[in-house]
Amino acid sequence: MNRKYIYPLLVLIVTIGFYYIEKHIDTLDKKDTTESVDKNKELSFFYLPTSTTGIIISHNNYSLSYSEKHEQPEWVAYELKTEHLSKNEFKRPFFEVDDKVRSSSADWRNYKKSGYDKGHLCPAGDRRFTYDAYEETFLTSNISPQNHDFNAGIWNRLEQKTRYWASKYNGVYVVTGGILKGNLKTIGYEAVSVPNYFYKIILDNSSKYPKMIAFVIPNESTGKPLDDFIVAADSIEKLTGIDFFPNLQDEIENKLEASSSKSGWKF
């Protein structure tokens, strides 16, 4: 072959070779990234409860199951890590509807002059580590009508206690909501249900010996201590029809959810 044709041919072969090598590397990178994202997604959703509505919404800092019938979440679930605990003071934002809810979450105006607070389920106080995390708790898919004295009283005490436990036990996992059963009062033009009771379930899975504590508290003023309202998580599952920790090993789940003891929890 004439030498004048050899060099261009070699250049062409090398160019094509580099093209396919780069394409192969890029494909591997994308595969690795996808696997990493899927793995992280799997880990972040490991403790999600089941949904009776089929409407699960995931935000950056909490997830929820929305009930269109009751215009509020049936549960909100999130991890409260020690590094999340912060005393940052941010300007309180306005409540906004959640665009991720296809039917649209209830408008905040339903609460206006209703006599009920817009009660956070993932508390703004648990998400002070950045403004974006804080602001995200002001979506109306994260609120439920709460008696003011309840919201500012025993419910606030339980939220503070949850932060205390997160600091003591290297983080906890929290599931909370109103019990949306029975003949419930409604407020506003969208008929937002007013739960008679609220629940909170807290899982400490940071050690070799995990523990769980659960509360059901009437949506009213009370001066009783928190430990008067401790129940077994099993009883909340029966009330709500929700399986709260389906991905825990059955033996561990059954043992933890059957307990109504405060043993191991520092009060």
CATH of the domain at 118: 3.40.570.10
Query: Are 171 and 193 within one domain?
Result: yes
Tell me, yes or no, whether 34 and 67 share the same domain. no
pLDDT at 208: 85
Categorize the per-residue pLDDT at 38 as very low, low, confident or very high, splitting at 50, 70 and 90. very low
Residue 6 pLDDT more than 90? no
pLDDT at position 206 is 85
The boundaries of the domain holding residue 94 are 49-258
User: Domain check: are 8 and 95 in the same one?
Assistant: no
**pLDDT top residue among 215 and 34:** 215
- Whether the per-residue pLDDT at 41 is higher than 60: the answer is no
- Identity of the residue numbered 266: K
- Cβ neighbours of residue 241 under 8 Å, at least 6 residues apart? 52
The C-alpha atoms of residue 80 and residue 142 are separated, in whole angstroms, by: 16
Distance of CA 139 to the CA centre of its chain: 13
In the chain, the number of structural domains is: 2
The predicted-structure confidence for 79-95, as pLDDT tens digits, reads as follows 999 999 999 999 999 99
What was the pLDDT predicted at 27? Answer: 39
Q: Is residue 163 part of a domain?
A: yes
Using one digit for the tens of pLDDT, what is the confidence trace for 210-259? Answer: 999 999 999 999 999 999 999 999 999 999 999 999 999 999 999 999 99
Whether 263 is in a domain gets the answer no
Mean pLDDT of 8-18: 49
Residue in 24, 59, 120, 148 annotated catalytic: 120
Same domain, 97 and 20: no
What is the predicted pLDDT for the residue at 53?
97
Q: Does 266 map to a domain?
A: no
Q: In which band, very low, low, confident or very high, does the pLDDT at 207 lie, cut at 50, 70 and 90?
A: confident
225 domain residue, yes or no: yes
Q: Do 24 and 61 have their domain in common?
A: no
99 inside domain: yes
117 and 237 together in one domain: yes
Is residue 265 assigned to a domain? no
Tell me, yes or no, whether 68 and 175 share the same domain. yes
Residues 77 and 158 in one domain: yes
The pLDDT of residue 42 is above 60:
no
Categorize the per-residue pLDDT at 47 as very low, low, confident or very high, splitting at 50, 70 and 90: confident
In a domain, 267, yes or no: no
Tell me, what's the pLDDT at 9?
A: 52
| Average pLDDT estimate for 42-57 | 80
User: Is the same domain home to 70 and 189?
Assistant: yes
The residue-averaged pLDDT of 54-59 equals 96
Residue 83 inside a domain? The answer is: yes
Does 24 participate in catalysis according to the annotation? no
Both 8 and 68 in one domain: the answer is no
> 97 to each of 55, 94, 105, 188, how far by Cα in Å?
15, 10, 5, 15
Predicted confidence at residue 160, as pLDDT, reads: 98
The C-alpha atoms of residue 264 and residue 267 are separated, in whole angstroms, by 9
Pair 239, 149 in one domain:
yes
Between 266 and 26, residue with greater pLDDT: 266
In this structure, are 21 and 67 located in the same domain? no
